Chains A and B, each alone.
Chain A
Amino acid sequence: NILILDSEGKRVAVKYYSDEWPTNSAKLAFEKSLFGRTLKSNARTEAEITIFDSNIVIYKFVQDLHFFITGGDDENELLLATVLQGLFDAIALRLRNTIDKREALENLDVIFLCIDEVVDQGYAFTYLSSY
Chain B
Amino acid sequence: VDYSPFLGIEKGAVLQEARVFNDPQLDPRRCSQVITKLLYLLNQGETFTKVEATEVFFAVTKLFQSRDMGLRRMVYVIIKELSPSADEVIIVTSSLMKDMTSKTDMYRANAIRVLCRITDGTLLTQIERYLKQAIVDKNPVVASAALVSGIHLLQTNPEIVKRWSNEVQEAVQSRAALVQFHALALLHQIRQNDRLAVNKLVSSLTRGSVRSPLAQCLLIRYTSQVIRESTNDTQTGDRPFYDFLEGCLRHKAEMVIFEAARAITELNGVTSRELTPAITVLQLFLSSSKPVLRFAAVRTLNKVAMSHPTAVTNCNIDMESLISDQNRSIATLAITTLPKTGNESSVDRLMKQITNFMSDIADEFKIVVVDAIRSLCLKFPLKHRSLMNFLSNILREEGGFEYKKAIVDSIVILIRDIPEAKESGLLHLCEFIEDCEFTYLSTQILHFLGIEGPKTSDPSKYIRYIYNRVHLENATVRAGAVSTLAKFGAMVDGLKPRIFVLLRRCLFDNDDEVRDRATLYLNTLGGDGAVVETDEGVKEFLFGSLDVPLVNLENSLKNYDPSEKAFDINTVPKDVKTQPLAEKKATSKKPTGLGAPPPGPPSTVDAYEKLLSSIPEFASFGKLFKSSAPVELTEAETEYAVNVVKHIFDGHVVFQYNCSNTIPEQLLENVTVIVDASEAEEFAEVDSKPLRQLPYDSPGQTFVAFEKPEGVSAVGKFSNMLRFIVKEVDPSTGEAEDDGVEDEYQLEDLELVAADYMLKVGVSNFRNAWESMGVDFEHVDEYGLGPRDSLAEAVNAVINLLGMQPCEGTEVVPPNSRSHTCLLSGVYIGNVKVLVRLQFGLDGPKDVAMKLAVRSEDETVSDAIHEIVASG
Q: Does A108 contact B (CB under 8 A)?
A: yes
Q: Which of B76, B144, B329 contacts A126 (CB 8 A)?
A: B144
Question: Which residues of chain B have a CB within 8 Å of any CB of chain A?
Answer: 3-6, 32-33, 35-36, 39-40, 43-45, 70, 73-74, 76-77, 80, 113, 117, 141, 144, 148, 151-152, 177-178, 181-182, 185, 212-214, 217, 254-255, 258-259, 262, 289-293, 295-296, 299, 326-329
Q: A129 CB to closest chain B CB, in angstroms? A: 11
Question: Which residues of chain A have a CB within 8 Å of any CB of chain B?
Answer: 11, 13-14, 24, 27-28, 41-42, 46-51, 58, 76-79, 81-82, 102, 105-106, 108-109, 112-113, 116, 120-121, 123-126, 128, 131
Q: Which of B45, B292, B327 contacts A77 (CB 8 A)?
A: B292
A residues less than 8 Å from B292 (CB atoms): 46-49, 58, 77-78, 81
A residues less than 8 Å from B70 (CB atoms): 109
A residues less than 8 Å from B40 (CB atoms): 108
Additional A-B contact list (16), CB under 8 Å, known A102-B3, A121-B117: A11-B44, A47-B290, A48-B292, A50-B329, A51-B295, A76-B296, A77-B295, A78-B292, A79-B217, A81-B255, A108-B6, A109-B35, A109-B74, A116-B77, A120-B113, A124-B214
CB atoms of A41 and B296 under 8 A apart? no
A residues less than 8 Å from B43 (CB atoms): 11, 13-14, 112
Q: Which of B44, B255, B329 contacts A78 (CB 8 A)?
A: B255
A residues less than 8 Å from B151 (CB atoms): 123
CB atoms of A46 and B289 under 8 A apart? yes
B residues less than 8 Å from A77 (CB atoms): 258, 292, 295-296, 299
A76 to B80, CA, bound (A): 28
A residues less than 8 Å from B144 (CB atoms): 125-126
What are 23 A-B contacts defined by CB distance under 8 Å?
A: A27-B45, A41-B327, A46-B291, A48-B327, A49-B291, A76-B259, A76-B262, A76-B296, A79-B259, A108-B6, A112-B36, A112-B39, A112-B77, A116-B76, A121-B117, A121-B152, A123-B148, A123-B182, A126-B178, A128-B178, A131-B178, A131-B212, A131-B213
B residues less than 8 Å from A27 (CB atoms): 45
A residues less than 8 Å from B185 (CB atoms): 123
Q: B483 CB to closest chain A CB, in angstroms? A: 41
The residue in chain B whose Cβ has the minimal distance to the Cβ of A106 is B5
CB atoms of B329 and A105 under 8 A apart? no
Q: Which of A14, A28, A46, A109 contacts B290 (CB 8 A)?
A: A46
CB atoms of A120 and B148 under 8 A apart? yes
Q: Which of A14, A49, A102 contacts B329 (CB 8 A)?
A: A49
A residues less than 8 Å from B44 (CB atoms): 11
CB atoms of A76 and B255 under 8 A apart? yes
Q: A98 CB to closest chain B CB, in angstroms? A: 14
A24 to B296, CA, bound (A): 31
Q: B363 CB to closest chain A CB, in angstroms? A: 13
CB atoms of B293 and A105 under 8 A apart? no
A13 to B70, CA, bound (A): 19
A residues less than 8 Å from B329 (CB atoms): 49-51
Contacts A126-B178, A131-B212 given: A105-B148 contact, CB under 8 Å?
Answer: no
Contacts A27-B45, A48-B327, A123-B148 given: A76-B213 contact, CB under 8 Å?
Answer: no
B residues less than 8 Å from A128 (CB atoms): 178
A20 to B87, CA, bound (A): 29
Q: B477 CB to closest chain A CB, in angstroms? A: 35
A residues less than 8 Å from B255 (CB atoms): 76, 78-79, 81-82
CB atoms of A28 and B258 under 8 A apart? no
A77 to B77, CA, bound (A): 28
Q: A27 CB to closest chain B CB, in angstroms? A: 7
CB atoms of A108 and B45 under 8 A apart? no
The residue in chain B whose Cβ has the minimal distance to the Cβ of A108 is B36
A114 to B74, CA, bound (A): 11
Q: Which of A78, A116, A123 contacts B293 (CB 8 A)?
A: A78
The residue in chain A whose Cβ has the minimal distance to the Cβ of B262 is A76
CB atoms of B77 and A42 under 8 A apart? no
The residue in chain A whose Cβ has the minimal distance to the Cβ of B76 is A116
The residue in chain B whose Cβ has the minimal distance to the Cβ of A25 is B45
Q: B107 CB to closest chain A CB, in angstroms? A: 14
CB atoms of B36 and A131 under 8 A apart? no
A116 to B32, CA, bound (A): 16
B residues less than 8 Å from A28 (CB atoms): 45
Q: B771 CB to closest chain A CB, in angstroms? A: 45
The residue in chain B whose Cβ has the minimal distance to the Cβ of A23 is B45
A78 to B220, CA, bound (A): 14
CB atoms of B258 and A109 under 8 A apart? no
B residues less than 8 Å from A49 (CB atoms): 291-292, 295-296, 327, 329
A residues less than 8 Å from B76 (CB atoms): 116
Q: B689 CB to closest chain A CB, in angstroms? A: 43
Q: B34 CB to closest chain A CB, in angstroms? A: 10
A residues less than 8 Å from B77 (CB atoms): 112-113, 116
Q: B126 CB to closest chain A CB, in angstroms? A: 22
B residues less than 8 Å from A124 (CB atoms): 214
A residues less than 8 Å from B289 (CB atoms): 46
Q: Which of B113, B212, B254, B291 contacts A47 (CB 8 A)?
A: B291
Q: A40 CB to closest chain B CB, in angstroms? A: 9
A24 to B46, CA, bound (A): 9
The residue in chain B whose Cβ has the minimal distance to the Cβ of A115 is B77
Contacts A11-B43, A41-B327 given: A131-B214 contact, CB under 8 Å?
Answer: yes
A112 to B6, CA, bound (A): 15
5 interchain residue pairs of minimum CB distance: A24-B45, A78-B255, A77-B296, A109-B36, A49-B295
The residue in chain B whose Cβ has the minimal distance to the Cβ of A77 is B296
Contacts A112-B77, A113-B73 given: A42-B36 contact, CB under 8 Å?
Answer: no
A46 to B36, CA, bound (A): 31
A51 to B364, CA, bound (A): 12
Q: Which of B73, B178, B326 contacts A42 (CB 8 A)?
A: B326
The residue in chain B whose Cβ has the minimal distance to the Cβ of A12 is B43
A124 to B255, CA, bound (A): 14
A residues less than 8 Å from B290 (CB atoms): 46-47
A103 to B697, CA, bound (A): 62
Of residues A46, A78, A106, A112, which shows the largest number of chain B Cβ atoms within 10 Å of its Cβ?
A78
Q: B139 CB to closest chain A CB, in angstroms? A: 12
A30 to B209, CA, bound (A): 42
A49 to B290, CA, bound (A): 10
Q: A52 CB to closest chain B CB, in angstroms? A: 8
CB atoms of A131 and B181 under 8 A apart? yes
B residues less than 8 Å from A125 (CB atoms): 144, 148, 178
A28 to B43, CA, bound (A): 11
A residues less than 8 Å from B73 (CB atoms): 113
A24 to B70, CA, bound (A): 29
CB atoms of B4 and A105 under 8 A apart? yes
